[in-house]
Homo-oligomer: A and B are copies of this chain.
Amino acid sequence: MVELTELMKNEVFMAFASYTTIILSKMMFMSTATAFFRLTRKAFANPEDCANFGKGENAKKYLRTDDKVERVRRAHLNDLENIVPFLGIGLLYSLSGPDLSTAILHFRLFVGARIYHTVAYLIPLPQPNRALAFFLGYGVTFSMAYRLLKSRLYL
């Protein structure tokens, strides 16, 4: 058995691992936020979830959508749509031997932009706060994709 792979001696890869773990943990927090707002605002999607609030017709009134719950869910889905490309492209970029400080700048900007995106979505802040946060994260991922395709295209 290989006790510790070479990868974890690579500083870029370790930085990628740290920032990725942070941003995925933040994304997971959105599930808790959805559950919190569903419970406090009594807005559920499944009959079995509100069964202990009453029986039959009485329970049905809790099967509804709520503005705040839907807002958290949209923020969560937007996270998924943007963090999945970061995960894939960032992993391959980290393995492609980039300059350490350039790589860390990319990771920091992405993580910062996505955290600001969530804050701007949930408060909510007036536009273009959320749009700018979105496009900053988007641009960081494209910058890594561009570098990958430019230097190591193999089709």
Contacts and interface: CB of A to CB of B under 8 A. Distances in A.
Copies in the complex: 3
A119 interface: no
Interface string A134-155: 1000100110010011001111
Interface string A9-32: 111011101111110110110110
Nearest to A12: B1
B97 A18 contact: no
B74 A21 contact: no
> Counting chain B CB atoms within 10 Å of each CB, which of A15, A20, A81, A153 scores highest?
A81
10 contacts: A1-B9, A2-B6, A2-B7, A17-B95, A18-B149, A20-B92, A31-B138, A48-B125, A48-B126, A80-B80
